[in-house]
Chains A and B, each alone.
Chain A
Amino acid sequence: MTKQETLKLQAPFELSYDYKRSSGPIMSKFFEALSKKKILGTKNASGKVFVPAAEFDPNTNEALTEFVEVESTGIIESWSWVANPKPHHLIQSAFAFVLIKFNGADTSMLHMVSECAESDLAKGVKVKPVWSSDPKEMILDIKYFVLEK
């Protein structure tokens, strides 16, 4: 290290602020339903069901206002195994981030699958939710998914 480099100053710069989120009429209903152990999607004019509920159809641009309840079980569409979770992960034993397509839905949702081995995971494997005992109208009202055996 040259002398010039050692003289360069450094100081901590902490930045934090508690933002508020207004989730709007569509996502609010989705999260409310989660707290009641229900999975809601929105349906477009041609019957395509978006789960999680979407406010706007990305292809037709229509505003989606019709809700449909889908089954809380679904299949794994894709996954990424986390063998050694870091402290910031929500699950501290090996788990997978997964895209889950609920039965009755046409799109998939990002969540986690736990209590399984990496070798259990495959496209099409059936999963079911483990509900939180303390729902807060948030996505973690589902703690994670487990294999439906």
Chain B
Amino acid sequence: MIPAAVIGVGQTNYKAKRRDVSIAGLVREAIDKALLASDVEWDAIDAVILGKAPDMFEGVMMPELYLADAIGAVGKPVIRVHTAGSVGGSTAIIAASHVCSGKFDTVLTVTFEKQSESNATWALSPRYPYSPHINAGAGGYFAPFIREYIRRHNPPENIGWKVAVKDRINALKNPLAHLQILGIDEKMVSDSPMLWEPLRYLESCPSSDGACAMVIANKNLSNSRNAAWIKGMAVRSEGTLSAGRDEVNPQGGIDCAKDIYNQAGITNPRNEIDCAEIYVPFSWYEPMWLENLGFTDIGEGWKLTNEGLTELEGDLPINMSGGVLSSNPIGASGMIRFGEAALQVMGLAEDHQVKNAKVAMGHAYGGAAQFFSMWIVSSTKD
């Protein structure tokens, strides 16, 4: 496999409503920043890999057609990726795979969502015939999984509140983050309205507009640059409602993590990974994924959160950027995780930088907790 690295990450700011730009303008803003950060021109780009969550979110079917001009795809291969909420991660992996295979030397990859043009909960919960209409959206879908996690392991009820506070404190150190909640504390979270029991309003991700882009290149370009070398990457899938599936600790997530650790030669993720950006759209998913990803034993994830180990200054910082809980342009949210992991090992994460971060993980999940995409990036090639 040909070594590949992220050589530049570009992100828009994340906001509830970017009414000042079109979808094309939003996507291009992230691309311009990624090209600038990579110090490459358009002619260096061999292909463009675009991802976003369901087209029904904005009502623009096949947006890669309308966006071909804005993403510089004219005369080049363009590939559209779609794996629900994990799409930002799987798009990065499709892009990197085309470099690792030798098919392309340098690819531009970009993901976006413009939630202000739409209503994701509506798009996720149409009134299907023969089914009761519960209008639950993602939070309503995941709440029972979270309830089951709590039933199995009996953690204190404030674990979710702690994650919600920790990620929003991190967001205050990331000027791009959507939610900037001064004075956030557990009381504020526990006083917020119950949305999908046991999830409260402030334990849930916002609806954001935003885009994230990366330039991924082989060693010809990456050797001479500050780069985040991709040491392992994988995707896994599960059925939506398969009998016997464990939604709390999905096998797909376990297998996907094992795969990237094997590729990267990691035997003890807790010790060997310096920090991770994992997909936590609802607070309790931090401890759930810490277990699923093998950072700790089953039933122990909430203890890492409880002891403050996942804080920016802790020994396993999680979601240093503020995470999905602070910014959620759905289609881009996975790529933001992957890109933020890259920024950490490149030493470019500014105020939310983890000191001496050399190895970082990017993680995303999507659908009914059924699509997983993950990668490990490192500050060194070898």
Contact = CB atoms under 8 A, between A and B. Distances in A.
Interface in A15-42: 15, 17, 19-27
A27 B22 contact: yes
B40 to A, nearest CB: 13
B162 interface: no
A9 B114 CA distance: 37
Contacts of B58: 19
B28 A63 contact: yes
Contact of A22 (B20, B70, B74): B20
Contact of A55 (B25, B72, B75, B122): B25
Contacts, number: 67
Given A13-B128, A58-B68, A24 B25 contact: yes
B126 A15 contact: yes
A46 interface: no
Nearest to A57: B69
Given A11-B129, A12-B129, A13-B128, A22 B69 contact: no
B119 interface: yes
Interface string B16-48: 001111111100100010000000001000000
Interface string B57-91: 01100000000111010110000000000000000
B342 to A, nearest CB: 24
Contact of B118 (A14, A19, A57): A19
Of A24, A55, A57, most B-chain CB atoms within 10 Å: A24
A81 interface: no
Nearest to B118: A19
A100 interface: no
Contacts of B32: 63
Interface residues of B, number: 31
Contact of B28 (A15, A19, A56): A56
B70 A55 contact: yes
Given A12-B129, A17-B122, A22-B116, A55 B22 contact: yes
Contacts of A17: 59, 118-119, 122-123
Contacts of A56: 24, 28, 69-70
Contacts of B118: 17, 19-20
Contact of B21 (A25, A54, A58): A25
A6 interface: no
Contact of B114 (A12, A22, A55, A61): A22
B129 A21 contact: no
Contacts of B75: 59
A24 B21 contact: yes
30 contacts: A9-B130, A11-B129, A11-B130, A12-B129, A13-B126, A14-B127, A15-B126, A17-B118, A19-B59, A19-B118, A21-B22, A22-B18, A22-B19, A22-B23, A22-B116, A22-B117, A23-B22, A24-B21, A24-B22, A24-B25, A25-B20, A26-B22, A27-B22, A54-B69, A55-B25, A55-B28, A56-B69, A58-B69, A61-B74, A63-B28
